[in-house]
């Protein structure tokens, strides 16, 4: 038994009201999340630098090569443990996170230790953007027009980096990011059309630079 077994619908705290339907559900890919959000490779690079530095210092002090390598090798289990813990957290985040796009809102259920649910009606979404990666995963941050300030650390890792002044909730490293962005873009445009307002735009980001390319098509 776990804390999510009582969800009436996976990833949602309650049944959907009449007329609302699920368009897509998914979660972060755990290894891209470990690399992109938790910087596992950067941590391993840091320990590799320490290893080389330790060997170099010992050799310059006249320590035999074998002894220098033996001393530096004590860093290896520490590096493995650090990277392992980060990878484990990414896997747990993958297991406990559910992103749900309906025709009316985006719902994020997340939290490894303390489960939380973020409900974002399309009426509070000003725009959405997409950044894709070579593995096909994507980040989809949302700019909100509501005045209530969200907690950057309360949203992490489901938040756009370096936007602490006005945090942007983000679907992070989702598989097939471009397809998910298309689904969200069409849902935003259709919801805006039904409200009689201008369609929402999906701005695609290439290599980390925001570059609007097209308007999300409204459903007929």
- Residue by residue, DSSP assigns 131-153 as EE-TTS-EEEEEEE--SSPPPHH
Query: What string of pLDDT tens digits covers the 220 residues of the chain?
Result: 455 567 788 888 888 899 999 999 999 999 999 999 999 999 999 999 999 999 999 999 999 999 999 999 999 999 999 999 999 999 999 999 999 999 999 999 999 888 899 999 998 988 899 999 999 999 999 988 876 678 888 999 999 998 888 899 999 999 999 999 999 999 998 888 887 765 545 444 444 434 434 434 433 3
Residue 120 lies in a domain: yes
Domain coverage including residue 134: 22-28+99-215
Distance of CA 44 to the CA centre of its chain: 21
The reply to whether 56 and 145 lie within a common domain is no
The reply to whether 43 and 149 lie within a common domain is no
Taking the complete model, does pTM exceed 0.75, yes or no?
Answer: yes
Q: What is each CA distance from 41 to 4, 172, 176, 188, in whole angstroms? A: 32, 18, 23, 36
């Amino acid at each position: 038994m776990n804390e999510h077994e009582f969800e009436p619908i996976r990833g949602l705290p309650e049944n959907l009201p009449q007329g609302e339907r699920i368009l897509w559900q998914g979660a972060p890919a755990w290894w891209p999340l470990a690399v992109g959000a938790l910087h596992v490779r950067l941590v391993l690079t840091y320990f590799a630098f320490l290893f080389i530095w330790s060997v170099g210092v010992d050799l310059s002090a006249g320590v035999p090569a074998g002894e220098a390598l033996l001393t530096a090798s004590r860093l290896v289990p520490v590096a493995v443990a650090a990277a392992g813990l980060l990878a484990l957290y990414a896997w747990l985040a993958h297991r406990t996170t559910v992103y749900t796009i309906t025709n009316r809102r985006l719902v994020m259920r997340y939290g490894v230790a303390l489960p939380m649910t973020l409900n974002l009606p399309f009426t509070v979404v000003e725009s959405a953007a997409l950044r894709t990666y070579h593995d096909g995963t994507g980040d989809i941050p949302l700019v909100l027009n509501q005045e209530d300030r969200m907690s950057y650390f309360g949203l992490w890792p489901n938040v756009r980096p370096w936007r602490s002044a006005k945090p942007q909730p983000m679907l992070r490293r989702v598989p097939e990011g471009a397809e998910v962005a298309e689904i969200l873009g069409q849902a935003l445009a259709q919801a805006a059309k039904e409200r009689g307002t201008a369609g929402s735009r999906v701005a695609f980001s290439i290599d980390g630079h925001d570059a609007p390319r097209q308007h999300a098509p409204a459903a007929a």
